[in-house]
Amino acid sequence: MTAGRTAGESGSLGTGFEELWKALAPIGRDDRTGGYHRYSWTPAHRECERWFRDEAERRDLTVEADGNGNLVAWWRPDPARVTGGVVTGSHLDSVPDGGGYDGPLGVVSAFAALDAIRSAGAAESAGGTAGGTAGGAAGGAAGGAEATRPLGIAVFAEEEGARFGVPCLGSRLLTGALEPDRARGLRDTAGVPLTDAMERAGVPVDLGPAPDLLHAPSAFVELHVEQGRALADLGAPVGLARDIWPHGRWRFEFGGRADHAGTAAMSDRHDPMLTYAMTALAANKRARLTQARTTFGRVQVEPNATNAVPSLVRAWLDARAADEPSLDALVEEIRRQAGDRAQRDGTRLEVHPESWTPRVEFDVRLRDRLAARLGSPPVLSTQAGHDAGILAAARIPAAMLFVRNPTGVSHAPEEYAEPADCLAGVDALTAVLTDLLAG
């Protein structure tokens, strides 16, 4: 059982990576489950951001923020040269009881890669042989390549959408993919508006496109734990992303009539829970038939009493498929079956789209360049959403590196990466950043 293990606890890591990881690992961790609760702009998430700012400061990086809650720590932010820099990074928020690697692995690896690039540069200018602190590939790749571009380490806000319902909220606002007015209307489950949550956390608020934050980068590279078993099955520690499946979220509202759980005859009921249950089964069956993915992972019931027939069930469908027509057809079919069932149950159905992300193919030239640098690792499609995908859709050349996850599990405490694979990830990131920084 790997639940709740952290890389720092389970073996030897490069010192830089290990120290970074150990400092971050306890924040927002539930010791009972081993899972993380780092919802955007809550104290745990703020502590993660403080960790980020402290690490940036220790390295003399300049931290810039936009009005959407996104942060970038720049190395060598010479204003004359900052346009066309290289940006890496990921996110520090989590889903409820999420894994420790989804997001943080990309940020910790970014600092470790920067340290390796700097020490390789220092060794070279001292006339020694280039040898990165993170290991072989770093030193090898750094050899002879002189970094000329600035490097930014980004932390994007509310990537999981766990608090406000829209995934990749920060990168969508930054690139203009989400209307600021729509974001202003978002509330968390306690009814707190997004802008209030940000203000209460002391975050500057000015929602909307913020192209200056990334300074028109020449490339963005996000390192991420793999959220499936492909690399484990292939026996490879590191892979590259080809594309992201289109995916979206829909809120299904099933309205019925509240009644007494004992005295209301079964035949007299208008029970929306029944309609919801049949819809969940239909969605599962449809996804299996079409090799797609459907999940109802969040449900609210009113009045939520053991001895009352519900009056309302609100359930969120997360649906993903390999291409957009398949996803449209899948959701349409689930909606049709839910509607038919609502008629039989004497209940009402409303479906509200909440987010939609088209298929994204990562930049082919950039991917080929990374593949050449890394000795052609496996190239994978992914079903998970990422800020790198939002940036790619905004025509920023973007790429992703995946690090093997032996459990294949993600968004849960079992999410894991072996220490040696974390280091292989740092080495790979160091190698590609070294190459990209050189021109």
Site residues (CB under 6 A) for ligand GLV, limited to 305-344: none
**Min separation Cβ 19 and ligand GLV, Å:** 27
When asked if residue 104 is in the footprint of ligand GLV (CB under 6 A), the reply is no
When asked if residue 390 is in the footprint of ligand GLV (CB under 6 A), the reply is no
CA gap 57, 42 in Å, rounded:
22
CA gap 355, 304 in Å, rounded:
26
CA gap 116, 147 in Å, rounded:
12
Task: Identify the residue among 49, 55, 93, 102 touching Mn ion (CB under 5 A).
Answer: 102
**Min separation Cβ 127 and ligand GLV, Å:** 45
Question: What character string, x for contact with Mn ion (CB under 5 A) and - otherwise, covers 46-85?
Answer: ----------------------------------------
The binder of 413, among ligand GLV, Mn ion, none, by C-beta within 5 to 8 A per type, is none
Beta strands 86-91 and 219-225: pairing type?
parallel
Three-class SS state of 395:
coil
Q: Is 45 annotated as belonging to a binding site?
A: no
Closest CA to 67 of 157, 151, 150: 157
Q: Residues 334, 279: contact at Cβ < 8 Å?
A: yes
Q: Residues 132, 430: contact at Cβ < 8 Å?
A: yes
CA gap 415, 240 in Å, rounded:
19
Tell me which H or E stretch contains 231. helix 230-234
When asked if residue 226 is in the footprint of Mn ion (CB under 5 A), the reply is no
DSSP 358: -
Task: Identify the residue among 384, 396, 426, 429 touching ligand GLV (CB under 6 A).
Answer: 384
Q: Is 302 annotated as belonging to a binding site?
A: no
When asked if residue 431 is in the footprint of ligand GLV (CB under 6 A), the reply is no
Question: What character string, x for contact with ligand GLV (CB under 6 A) and - otherwise, covers 150-189?
Answer: ----------x------x----------------------
Sign for the CA dihedral angle at 422, 427, 431, 434 comes to: positive
**Min separation Cβ 103 and Mn ion, Å:** 5
For Mn ion (CB under 5 A), the number of binding residues is 4
CB-based contacts of 433, cutoff 8 Å, min separation 6 = 86, 88, 113, 114, 117, 151, 221
The binder of 103, among ligand GLV, Mn ion, none, by C-beta within 5 to 8 A per type, is Mn ion
Q: Residues 17, 109: contact at Cβ < 8 Å?
A: yes
Task: Identify the residue among 385, 389, 413, 419 touching ligand GLV (CB under 6 A).
Answer: 385
Stretch that binds Mn ion, among 97-105, 118-126, 261-269, 326-334 (CB under 5 A): 97-105
E strands, 208-347, are 219-225, 238-244, 247-255, 259-260, 293-302, 308-309, 312-320
When asked if residue 415 is in the footprint of Mn ion (CB under 5 A), the reply is no
**Min separation Cβ 62 and ligand GLV, Å:** 29
**Min separation Cβ 358 and ligand GLV, Å:** 14
For ligand GLV (CB under 6 A), the number of binding residues is 4
Strand partners, 36: 29, 98
Question: What character string, x for contact with Mn ion (CB under 5 A) and - otherwise, covers 353-392?
Answer: -------------------------------xx-------
CA gap 160, 102 in Å, rounded:
10
Q: Is 102 annotated as belonging to a binding site?
A: yes
When asked if residue 397 is in the footprint of ligand GLV (CB under 6 A), the reply is no
CA gap 209, 222 in Å, rounded:
21
| Numbered residues of the known binding site for allantoate | 249, 307, 320
- Contact residues: Mn ion, CB under 5 A: 102-103, 384-385
- Contact residues: ligand GLV, CB under 6 A: 160, 167, 384-385
| Numbered residues of the known binding site | 91, 102, 160, 224, 249, 307, 320, 411
